[in-house]
Every structure is written in structure tokens, then in C-alpha cells.
Amino acid sequence: MKKGFIFLGCFIVTLGFISFANAGMREPMEGAGWHYPWKDTYSEWKPGNMKYDEELFNQDVIEAYGWEAEDVDKIKDMIPPSMYIILKNPDVWGPRRINVTAYRENKGYLWDRFVKATKEYKDTAKIDKGWLINYTAGVPFPEPKDGIEALWNFKQHFREDDRILSAVTIITNRGGQVRYQTSDGNLMYFDGRLEKSPKPLYKSPNNERRIDAYANAHPYEMRGTLSVITQYDDPEMDDSFWLYLPALRRVRRLSAAQRTDRLPGGQDLMWENFDVFNGNPSKYNCKLMGKKEMLFVHNGDPKGSWIHGKHLSGPNDYYQKVQVYINELTPKDPDFPFSKVILYTDSKTWVPYYGEWYDKEGKLYLFSQFQYAPNKNGIFVAVVMNHVDMQKIHSTGYAVTDPKFNTGLTPDYFKVDSLKMAYPSR
């Protein structure tokens, strides 16, 4: 049964008490499901243009830890420190459980193309002063020798060419009060492309590497607020930021120094930790901490199941034992407001599972968790993204609905006039 905790049933036989921990009854967590207060296009979960195996929605739980399940101390070494804190303190963070299910091997025609590209372009990519050069597609460094190679593997992880990603945003404070927003997080990549032409490279006179657009639909007062960030294939070029504010009817340019500003609406997400980490690799020192087996959401439930009224700690989901690389990043800028970042990335796809951000005093401050569901073409959809302020006890969760991947977006789509038409203001 779905995402259940395990009751331990015992009965007396001639050999004594026998535990039925694995074969026992499994029930879903109370209140788990799709929760959203407004009756509009976000009110029901939709798969978009994704096709998922039906088995992903109802996986067989092998073992469970946390809320009304096994003691999380048994898996302390297999989860990040922030997750351990949350699971050990349900009185603060609310109910959360790790439901362990079987790991599903990567498959699908786009995954096959990624593997082929990794072999085809092996040994062509190089690192020059912390920057990736001569990259085309696939994993640039299949066997990373150090932290900077591992970081660039993460930056070029297995992914879509472009996306339109609709999400319900759930902002929760320590008292359990919830505010909802709805938004789209859209992007396109210019290298490593696997499906949409031009591929594998989309050559542009502006030398972009990636463009993101963030558009608000709700609440009413934020409708039509647009943010765009453009990253360039040049370590000396700062990212380009602009923000469109409907109330002022003007575009505001933002400086690179505002990368650690929070997103509008009181969120716990900043530009620098988009996709767990969205910084310039050449501005960080990297230390590869090793590779180990940990519990993360590799093949989770495509439909984010949040606990009604208990959103703070994140949703209920399936976890698998996966091999991950752990990378420690320290900023070269002494005035940067964080002392280090710890990244946890998949050893095969290089998608990010987790990022932990530490303040200047070395105390755990922010963390981001991404939970994935693979679709039939192989792409991993981040169906849930949870960003948490561990010090304020405050969280911002994204529950994805109606995702559309590889739609053929072009740079023109990300121009202000185009986005204003797609996302009209109030």
C-alpha cells in the first residue's frame, strides 16, 4: 500500500515471537494528498506531457523510518544532517517519514542518448581556471578526479532541453500557518541538448548557457510578476537579472550582488540555490568528500503528497538507496554570506538531491531537497522541491503539476514582451 508505515505484528509460535516488519500491514500517512485552496488550473494534479509507469504511484514499501515507524537513528549515516534533525523532531517540524522502496534502474531513449553522448565526447571537455570548456553533451567527467570536475558534472547533469514547469508553492512558518502561491519555473539550455533541434548545441550570438524565467500567477497581488536570469558561457560575465513588477509597470535590473536575495513573496529560495545550487563554479573552491550509499528520492511518486496542515517538513514520498557524490563548496569571496555548501548528487545522472547551506558561523542555515520521478523517456522530473530555513523554522515547498518538457522553447520566449503576454498581470 502507498507510502505506509510498518506495523510490527507478532504472534506466538513454538519458536517464540516472530516479527512481521516487512510483511505487515502498511497504511498511508493521514492527510497525505494534493492540497490547494483555489479552484483553478492548479487545483488538480496533472501529468502534463510526462508519461509515467503506473508502478511509481503505488510502490511496495520495504521498510520505513521516522513518524510512527522505525527509529531514524538506524539510518542516520544514510541521510543528510538536516533531514535527521527534521525526522527526530516531529514536535517542531511535523510528521515526516522515509518509506524505502526498490531502486529502479535508469532507462528510456533520452537516457540512452545521454549515455551515448558521454561515450562519444569522452575526454573532450576540460577545466580552465575553474571553468568548463569544450563541452558538448553527456557527462563531462565520468570519473571525476576532484571537486571542480564533480561540480561541473552536476551543472551538466542529465536533463531536459527546455521546460515549462507549473507548481503550487506552499510557504509555511513555524506556527504551521500556510500561504499559497502558484508559479511557473521555465528554462532552456544551450548545450547538452538531447532531443530538440538544434542539438547538441544551440549556438547563440549572446553566448548564453541557460535562461530561467519565474512567473507568478497567484496570489492576486503578485500576478504577472516576472523574474529572468540568464547565465553565460563565460566566467567573466555576471549573470543577467531582471524583474518585472506589474504594480510599477517597469522592469528592474538586479545586480549580481543580489544572488542571495530571497524570491518574492517571502520564500526560502534564492537565486544562488535554484536547482539546489545555481552559482558560478569558478567562484567556489571545491572539495570532493567521497561517494557513498544514501537514501534519496530517485524514483518517487509523480504526484506530490503533502500532509494536510503539516507542510513544514515536506511531503511524504518513496526513498531508495542510491550512490551519491558529496561535494563541499566554499566561496572564494570572503564577504559572501555563507561559509560553505554541501551538495549531494546522483553518481549516474548527476541530478541534485540535496544542498545544505551554512552561515558565516558554520551553522546549518538553509537546505534544499529535490524529489524525482522518472518518466518513460528517461528524464527525471523534480516533482517536489522543498527549501527550508532551519534557523527560522520556515519552509517553501513546490508541488509540480502539468509539467511540459522539451517543448521547443527559444530565446525569444524569454523576452519581457513575450513573457508578459504568456503571464498577464492583474
Measure the CA–CA gap between 114 and 98, rounded to whole angstroms. 30
Measure the CA–CA gap between 241 and 213, rounded to whole angstroms. 10
Question: Using alpha carbons only, what angle is made at residue 331 by residues 330 and 335, rounded to the nearest 5 degrees?
Answer: 130
The predicted pLDDT at position 262 comes to: 76
The predicted pLDDT at position 287 comes to: 98
Q: Phi and psi (nearest 5°) for 341?
A: -130, 135
C-alpha cell at 240: 543577467
Q: Phi and psi (nearest 5°) for 361?
A: -90, 5
The predicted pLDDT at position 9 comes to: 37
| Contact by Cβ (8 Å): 306, 33 | yes
| Contact by Cβ (8 Å): 426, 401 | no
Nearest CA to 341 out of 247, 260, 257, 230 is that of 260
The predicted pLDDT at position 63 comes to: 95
| Contact by Cβ (8 Å): 166, 407 | no
Q: CB neighbours of 97 closer than 8 A, spacing ≥ 6?
A: 3, 5, 29, 64, 65, 66, 67, 68, 69, 87, 316
Measure the CA–CA gap between 326 and 154, rounded to whole angstroms. 11
| Contact by Cβ (8 Å): 226, 422 | no
Asked if omega into 315 is within 30° of 0 (cis), the reply is no
Dihedral sign from CA coordinates of 231, 226, 270, 347: negative
109-422 placed in CATH 2.50.20.10: yes
Measure the CA–CA gap between 289 and 66, rounded to whole angstroms. 27
| E strand spans, 347-393 | 352-359, 364-374, 380-389
Q: Which amino acid is at 231?
A: Q
Nearest CA to 131 out of 280, 6, 271 is that of 280
**pTM for the model:** 0.91
| E strand spans, 9-123 | 10-13, 16-19, 26-28, 32-33, 63-66, 97-100
The predicted pLDDT at position 220 comes to: 81
Left, alpha or beta for 153 (phi > 0: left; psi -120 to 50: alpha)? alpha
The predicted pLDDT at position 27 comes to: 52
| Contact by Cβ (8 Å): 22, 8 | no
Q: Which amino acid is at 75?
A: I
- Alpha helices by DSSP H, listed for 121-260, are 147-155
Q: CB neighbours of 417 closer than 8 A, spacing ≥ 6?
A: none
Measure the CA–CA gap between 202 and 350, rounded to whole angstroms. 22
DSSP helix, strand, coil percent of the chain (3-state; round to 5)? 15, 40, 45
Q: CB neighbours of 181 closer than 8 A, spacing ≥ 6?
A: 168, 169, 171, 216, 218, 219, 222, 265
Measure the CA–CA gap between 93 and 29, rounded to whole angstroms. 15
Sequential pLDDT tens for the chain (426 residues) = 455 433 333 333 333 333 333 333 345 567 677 767 766 777 788 999 999 999 999 999 999 999 999 999 999 999 999 999 999 999 999 999 999 999 999 999 999 999 999 999 999 999 999 999 999 999 999 999 999 999 999 999 999 999 999 999 899 999 888 888 888 999 999 999 999 999 999 999 899 999 999 998 888 888 888 989 999 999 989 899 888 888 778 888 877 667 777 777 788 888 888 889 999 999 999 999 999 999 999 999 999 877 777 778 788 899 999 999 999 999 999 999 999 999 999 999 999 999 999 999 999 999 999 999 999 999 999 999 999 999 999 999 999 999 999 999 999 999 988 999 998 876
Q: Phi and psi (nearest 5°) for 169?
A: -100, 125
The predicted pLDDT at position 38 comes to: 66
Domain boundaries defined on the chain: 109-422
